[in-house]
Copies of this chain bind each other. A is one copy, B any other.
Amino acid sequence: MERRGTRVTTDVARVVLRRLLPSWRHPARVVVTAFATVIAMGTLLLLLPAAAEPGAQTGFVTALFTATSAVCVTGLVVVDTPSHWSTFGELVILGLIQVGGLGIMTIASLLGLLVARRFGLRLQLTAQTETKALDLGQVRRVVAGVVLISLAFEAVTSVVLAARLGLAYGYDTGQAVYFGVFHAISAFNNAGFALYPDSLMRFTTDAWICLPIIVAVVAGGLGFPVWVEIWRRRRGRKRWSLHAKITLLTTTALLVVGTVAISAAEWNNPETLGGLGIGGKLLAGLTHGVMPRTAGFNSLDIGQMESGALFVNDMLMFIGGGSAGTAGGIKVTTFALLAFVILAEIRGEPTVHVMGRRLTASTQRQALSVALLSVGAVVTGTLLLLTFTPFGLEAVLFEAVSAFGTVGLSTGITANVSTAGELVLTALMFLGRLGPITLASALALRERTRRYELPEERPIVG
């Protein structure tokens, strides 16, 4: 009922996959293993002397941190990208970003297809080999669609950026194309890696650079399922799914709120928006309304922002972007669904309704679990960073949320958090990218199914 179209379940393919992956019964473990493997390979490649500029040495933690940051499309860096890494090293990073971005989009889209009428995300993940197997055709269509949409956006963005860099800044053709492609891929994948030591701060008022990057960032952040629907509407499909409606509306709302809040907070700050003309203020305000969700480029100095603007950033970074896209955070749907649950509770309604649809108890519980486990991860990370570093709550919380939300913005402390701090951030990026639920499910070994019902009891709440 939920999944239309022909289903060509190929037992052969499943058998092959099971041979290849002994833990295939637990897709969450497969996902974690796959990402860990790519990060390990990236670490090894970045450790090669050829990956660094002549004379530069790459330590193990630096390579691990950078590979994790790239694969998890975060963009936090402990060494300056253009001056530390050679062109080969930059290409490794670019490759890791592309693999990471395509990987998370594909995997999250496939897991989304597996979501069934059952309780508990873990059951859904393990349900695959039982009744809810994806057929190979579906897998192939998703992979093709993800690759297609990624390449399309990256190509268009590359062309605009390269043209601008060549025409307005005098880059020669090869350089313009290289810089255009790198930043286009980094933008669509919400990676936030830049080939400039100060990210986009030299382009603060250049709309021809900032706007294409903003469009690519937002496009990648909407998520593949939404793009599938946008595409289908061209062929006459009129009804939006609940997922697409929530994603589009919440994304729009957060872009407006973020842009207005950060512009207002920074309007007269001489270190950020204060010195710009009205056009520059609007462009940079828009850029910094978009980038916390969760691209991580910056055209203003985050370290000079007001406390209020940093706190708004914290919240935008935590919420993040759309599901099954390149953005991180708890996702806009999780955030919006929780708001609807609370609204129903306040109104005293027995069921939760969202735009004419009913929300199942299991969806509510998933949203709750994702949000609270994420709070737990950020709180734990913040506490560890406070312990291991000399920095105060403001900078440390920002860093922890940025890492967990795979954002990549920083007040400037990333390179100085000590090795322990770097490992904490690495763990947060990995956790934040794969999702606390996925990871927790993968780690949970006990599988208990209670067949009997216990008597219910109501403790006092609040």
A357 to chain B, nearest CB (A): 4
Enumerate chain B residues within 8 angstroms of A242, measured Cβ to Cβ.
457-459
Please classify the interface of chain A as helix (H, G, I), strand (E, B), loop, or mixed, using the class held by over half of its residues: helix
The answer to whether A369 touches B393 (Cβ under 8 A) is no
Q: Does A330 contact B (CB under 8 A)?
A: yes
Give A residues with C-beta under 8 Å from B: 108, 112, 115, 118-123, 126, 223, 225, 241-243, 246, 265, 306-308, 310-312, 315, 323-324, 330-331, 333-334, 337-338, 341-342, 344-354, 356-373, 375, 379, 382-383, 386-387, 391-394, 396-397, 435, 437, 440-441, 444, 446-450, 453-462
A367 CA to B364 CA in the complex, in Å? 12
Q: Known contacts A338-B372, A461-B331: does B345 contact A454 (CB below 8 Å)?
A: no
- Among A307, A323, A331, A362, residue most surrounded by chain B Cβ atoms (within 10 Å): A307
Q: Known contacts A345-B369, A393-B310, A462-B437: does B457 contact A353 (CB below 8 Å)?
A: no
Enumerate chain B residues within 8 angstroms of A349, measured Cβ to Cβ.
119-120, 448-450
The answer to whether B120 touches A347 (Cβ under 8 A) is yes
Q: Known contacts A315-B379, A368-B338, A393-B394: does B458 contact A360 (CB below 8 Å)?
A: yes
Enumerate chain B residues within 8 angstroms of A122, measured Cβ to Cβ.
345-348
The answer to whether A437 touches B382 (Cβ under 8 A) is no
Chosen A-B contacts, 18 in total, with CB atoms closer than 8 Å, are A121-B345, A242-B459, A307-B391, A307-B396, A308-B383, A331-B460, A347-B444, A351-B453, A353-B454, A356-B454, A358-B456, A363-B461, A368-B368, A371-B372, A392-B393, A393-B393, A394-B394, A437-B462
The answer to whether A330 touches B225 (Cβ under 8 A) is no
Enumerate chain B residues within 8 angstroms of A358, measured Cβ to Cβ.
453-457
Enumerate chain B residues within 8 angstroms of A334, measured Cβ to Cβ.
461-462
Which residue in chain B gives the minimum CB-CB distance to A461?
Answer: B366
The answer to whether A120 touches B345 (Cβ under 8 A) is yes
The answer to whether B462 touches A366 (Cβ under 8 A) is yes
Enumerate chain B residues within 8 angstroms of A342, measured Cβ to Cβ.
368-369, 372-373
A123 CA to B437 CA in the complex, in Å? 32
The answer to whether A359 touches B460 (Cβ under 8 A) is no
A363 to chain B, nearest CB (A): 5
Which residue in chain B gives the minimum CB-CB distance to A379?
Answer: B315
A182 to chain B, nearest CB (A): 30
The answer to whether A347 touches B115 (Cβ under 8 A) is no
Question: With contacts A307-B396, A353-B450 known, what are 17 further pairs, Cβ within 8 A?
Answer: A112-B460, A242-B457, A246-B459, A306-B386, A308-B387, A310-B393, A311-B383, A323-B462, A333-B459, A337-B459, A342-B368, A346-B369, A346-B437, A347-B448, A352-B365, A356-B454, A363-B458
Which 5 pairs across A and B sit closest by C-beta, in order of nearness?
Answer: A122-B348, A119-B350, A120-B348, A370-B462, A323-B460
A353 CA to B373 CA in the complex, in Å? 19
The answer to whether A345 touches B360 (Cβ under 8 A) is no
Q: Known contacts A365-B364, A369-B342: does B307 contact A386 (CB below 8 Å)?
A: yes
